[in-house]
Amino acid sequence: MNALPELLAAGVGLLALGMAQWLALRALHRRKLDALRDRHLRQQLSLSNKLAQAHRQIGVLQQEMAAARAALRQRRDRMAAAAEAAPGGGTTH
């Protein structure tokens, strides 16, 4: 009896089983990797949207601050003009 064909068949069977296991693990790994990639892209998009919103809010706040400064400047100028027009010429002595 020659055991070589039986050993060869067993080796081929083990090789096929190993390949099937490798393919299954590879598919599982790819699914997990795709899920991680999708989650990362969603987080990146969310953070990008939040950053854009923060930039818009900063722009609005800068405009409001500029308007407040202009209003304060106008008020100061009106008060100075009123003080000079008052009797005594705006002197505090």
At 15-74, the pLDDT tens digits run 999 999 999 999 999 999 999 999 999 999 999 999 999 999 999 999 999 999 999 999
- What residue type is 29 in one-letter code? H
Residue 80 C-alpha from the chain's centroid: 49
Residue-level length of the chain: 93
- What residue type is 13 in one-letter code? G
**pTM of the predicted structure, to 2 decimals:** 0.59
Mean pLDDT value of segment 75-79: 94
80 and 74 Cβ atoms separated by less than 8 Å: no
Residue 76 is assigned to a structural domain of this protein:
yes
Residue 26 is assigned to a structural domain of this protein:
no
Q: How many domains does the chain have?
A: 1
Residue 12 is assigned to a structural domain of this protein:
no
Residue 66 is assigned to a structural domain of this protein:
yes
Residue 7 is assigned to a structural domain of this protein:
no
Residue 16 is assigned to a structural domain of this protein:
no
Residue 41 is assigned to a structural domain of this protein:
yes
**How big is the CA angle at 10 (ends 8 and 16), to the nearest 5 degrees?**
105
Domain of residue 54 covers: 35-84
Task: Specify the pLDDT at position 89.
Answer: 60
